[in-house]
Amino acid sequence: MTRSNAREIAVHLVFEQGFSGQSTDELLDQVLKRPVFELIGQEEPLYAQFPNVGQREYISTLVRGVDAHRGELDGYISKYAIGWNISRIPRVVVAILRVCMYEILYMQDIPNAATINEAVELTKHYEEQELAAFVNGILGSFVRTEPLPVPETAPAPDAFEEAGEDL
């Protein structure tokens, strides 16, 4: 599974959490299971490969982090979505922005440009082209304006380069 796929699954879970009454841990415990991936994977290729331990950790970190920092992330979205009320932005776009802003703020081993590019590509996949430009503008302004943490010099081992699956 690629980091892009794991990020997209995290976006799905952040999006779903907005509709379910489940806690983050309940949602993660329910979805991050091999039988669930096998079932969903029959119709959705994104779920065809069950994530290994490191990949599940990455997905969980994103979903838990977005939940823990939702107010902060929504504040940034509101600040940089000039002329837009967050309630007018499609929910999937809000989920993408939350996940990618969290990654930029709290996961410095991933280059900001890569995160922004992934956000734009995810938006193109789920929404109209105009919204992809909107997302690019918000995230570009965000990284140029906000005092962001300095990336760590030695990146952590990458769970996405591992070939095998862990249980």
- pLDDT digits over 42-70, tens only? 999 999 999 999 999 999 999 999 999 99
H helices within the chain, ranges in order? 3-17, 24-31, 34-41, 53-68, 70-80, 91-106, 112-126, 129-145
Q: List, for residues 131-157, the tens digit of each pLDDT value.
A: 999 999 999 999 999 988 876 654 455
pTM above threshold 0.85: yes
Q: Is the pLDDT of residue 159 over 80?
A: no
Separation of alpha carbons 29 and 113, rounded Å: 31
The pLDDT, as a whole number, for residue 157 is 55
Q: List, for residues 82-116, the tens digit of each pLDDT value.
A: 999 999 999 999 999 999 999 999 998 889 999 99
Sign of CA dihedral 21, 75, 131, 150: negative
Mean model confidence pLDDT for the chain: 91
The pLDDT, as a whole number, for residue 45 is 95
